[in-house]
Amino acid sequence: MSCSLDREPKGYATKEKILEEPGKVIGDLVNGVYAQLKAWSDPMHRCGEYAGDNIMIRGASTDPFFEFITFSRTPNNDRLQSFWDNSYKAIAQASNIVEMLGASTDREVKEKIGECYFVRGLLYFYLVRAFGRPYYQAPETNLGVPVVTQIPKNVLGDFSLPDRMTVEKTYEQAIADLKKAEELLPSASAQPFRGSKEAAQALLSRVYLYMSGTYDQPNVAYAKLAVEYATKVISSGKYALLPRDEFMKYNTILPENNKESIFVIRRLASEFSGYDHYYGVGGMYANIGGMGWGEMYASAKYLALLDETGRNDYRPDQRRIVDARAAFIEPVYKEGNKEVFRFIKTEGSGDQNYLQLPTKHTGGKITVSETITDGNNQQREITYELTAVNAAQGIYSINYKGTTYQGVLDYDITLNRAYPMFYITKCSREGEDSHLHSPVISRLAEIYLNRAEAEAKLGNYSAALSDLNQVRTRSLPSAAYSSLDATTAATRIDKERQLELAFQAERSYDVFRNGGSLVRRYPGAHNQTEDIAPTDYRVIYFIPQNAINSYPGKLTQNPTH
């Protein structure tokens, strides 16, 4: 004799059950959408950050992300495939929920539907900025990405999907989704890892900013909308810029305790085990707690920006942080506090390299020495005398082989190959001494900068200056800009965005959307003498070849030249 059991897998729900009792299951369904963002956030970060000028890498790598750094674009890239696949998995899940339950009149269900619209709008925006050309470049004809908002009825049989929409149409979809999210979602709670009305408004401020043209040829209508949505977030009173001391520990604060965070991708310590921290975003930037590759460092260009208003001295016994954003940089000093003079020299090829030379103090004179091998294969020591530029800050110049360079007195920093290891910790140490990190999508400082840029494009320089200084003086209390006009706005706002939003996957997109060229004349394994123009075909990524091969319909590739 036997019995018949009708059991379903744990967490499984039929469509009939979902429609019968949507309030009981929709929470789990939407959590599944957010879960997709966890895997998505890793390649998203690498696509956006590695293609900029905030970081350098110590040498060539076999990892596919090296192509992001070198701009050696190929369609066969596992990291790019992961970005594409995880984006569309989350889009499909969100769309399925909207299709099933979008007509519900239940308040809680409608709010969850709003979260689905929010995630879908976010993803279409992040996809189009990676795979579609900057908006100011013919958005009505340039291709964006496929827009699919409904699951095909015959998903297990024969069906086809549309080719890529234009950049313009893809942006329209992202905006429609985010506006629907704004309509359905409640105001923010203490959970910045869930969509909210203000999170949708924050993202809309950035979407419209991307559409607002360049400083030379602004799109006034979109700039006004960027101002409007930024103002909604700022005026909501839900968020506040952290005070300077707290901001310098921003990376360590749990998202739910961070009053500046608007939306983040929540990661938990329980999601990491064994050697997982090697493979998180922060693992390439530092070795913490014995984990992490620590092979990418703050670029000399970014370090110079941090030092622009005064040298940030990282030496443990002389630590002096001038710009609060320098708190996320940690040089790896050798034991013994041996003093060196560090500067960047230019090679005959035009490439730049670091040089650290030991110092000697004799009376009021400082000299450095270098041992070289001459033409007779004999070693000899050459001595150079330093000239003070700002002795109080340890800044000196050297006439090295006929060329004058400026550098700093510092302790000897450990080299990886020829590069001093300036660790980046902005993507690590969340609540613990590890690489735990919840990637930031939106925070209040960005919204002030969005509004500053949009106001400048509208010619409202006084308003732009006020917003710009809100962010700048938090990190540099005595260095507010006294004025802003058509000749200074682009440079100053771009600089503050780079300083403030570094390591949040924004930089490369910010450069190209405003018609700028990416200039990377600093030490590293990239091509230092090649500038990437905003019209270069490589400012966007190829559609992954596997996506094209498996696509049920035509999927047009980006141009190859």
Average pLDDT over residues 408-429: 97
Kindly give the interhelix angle for 444-457 and 197-210, rounded to the nearest 10 degrees: 40
What percent of the chain shows pLDDT beyond 90?
86
| pLDDT score of 2 more than 60 | no
Distance CA(203)–CA(225), nearest Å, equals 12
Q: What is the pTM of this model?
A: 0.95
- Residue 15 pLDDT > 70: no
Cα–Cα dist 145/555, whole Å: 9
Q: What percent of the chain has pLDDT over 70?
A: 96
Q: Predicted confidence band at 282 (pLDDT cuts at 50, 70, 90)?
A: very high
Q: Distance between CA 80 and CA 68 in Å, rounded?
A: 9
CB atoms near residue 524 (< 10 Å) = 24
Torsion on CA atoms 180, 185, 188, 193, rounded to nearest 10: -80
Domains in the chain (CATH in brackets) are: 15-269+440-550 (1.25.40.390), 334-412 (no CATH)
Comparing 108-122, 211-225, 266-280, the range with the smallest average pLDDT is 266-280
DSSP 194: S
Contact yes or no for 406/396 (Cβ under 8 A) = yes
Tens of pLDDT, residues 464-500: 999 999 999 999 999 999 999 999 999 999 999 999 9
pLDDT at 518: 98
**pLDDT-based confidence at 9, cuts 50/70/90?**
low
Nearest alpha-carbon partner for 66 in 57, 75, 53:
57
Q: Residue 13: what pLDDT?
A: 65
3-state secondary structure of 414: coil
Would you give the DSSP letter of residue 165? P
One-letter amino acid at 479 equals A
Average pLDDT over residues 28-44: 95
17-21, 29-33, 199-203, 291-295: segment of lowest average pLDDT = 17-21
Rounded to whole angstroms, how far apart are CA atoms 238 and 114? Answer: 19
pLDDT of 6 above 90: no
Classified as helix, coil or strand, 352 is strand
Instruction: Report residue 25 as tokens.
Output: 């299951």
DSSP bridge partners of 345: 353
Cβ contact 461:484 at 8 Å: yes
Q: Which residue has the tokens 């490439």?
A: 351
Note the pLDDT of residue 471: 98
Least trusted range by pLDDT, from 352-366, 372-386, 472-486: 372-386
Q: Give the dihedral of Cα atoms 523, 474, 393, 522; nearest 10 deg.
A: 10
Give mean pLDDT, residues 52-76.
Answer: 95
**Residue 541 DSSP label:** P
* Confidence bin at 517 (pLDDT 50/70/90): very high
Nearest alpha-carbon partner for 307 in 283, 323, 327, 331? 323
What is each CA distance from 55 to 68, 502, 507, in whole angstroms?
12, 9, 10
Judged against a pLDDT cut of 60, whether residue 368 lies above it is answered with yes
H or E segment and range at residue 395: strand 395-400
Element (H, E) at 366: strand 365-373
Please write the tens of the pLDDT for every residue from 537-547: 999 999 999 99
Report which secondary-structure segment, H or E, holds 424: strand 422-424
C-beta separation of 102 from 175 below 8 A:
no
Per-residue confidence (pLDDT) for residue 532, from 0 to 100: 97
Q: Which of 76-80, 103-107, 357-361, 506-510 has the lowest mean pLDDT?
A: 103-107
pLDDT at 1 over 80: no
Residues 6+ apart with CB under 8 A from 521: 301, 352, 528, 529
Q: pLDDT class for 8, splitting at 50, 70, 90?
A: low
| pLDDT of 272 above 90 | no
Confidence label for 188 from pLDDT (cuts 50, 70 and 90)? confident
User: Helices marked H in 102-196 — which ranges?
Assistant: 107-131, 167-184
Q: What value does the mean pLDDT take over residues 316-338?
A: 97
| Distance between CA atoms of residues 334 and 264, nearest Å | 36
**Lowest-pLDDT range of 142-156, 331-345, 381-395, 458-472:** 142-156
- pLDDT (average), residues 362-380: 89
Query: SS3 of 441, please?
Result: strand
Q: Is residue 5 pLDDT above 60, yes or no?
A: no
Average pLDDT, integer, range 364-381: 89
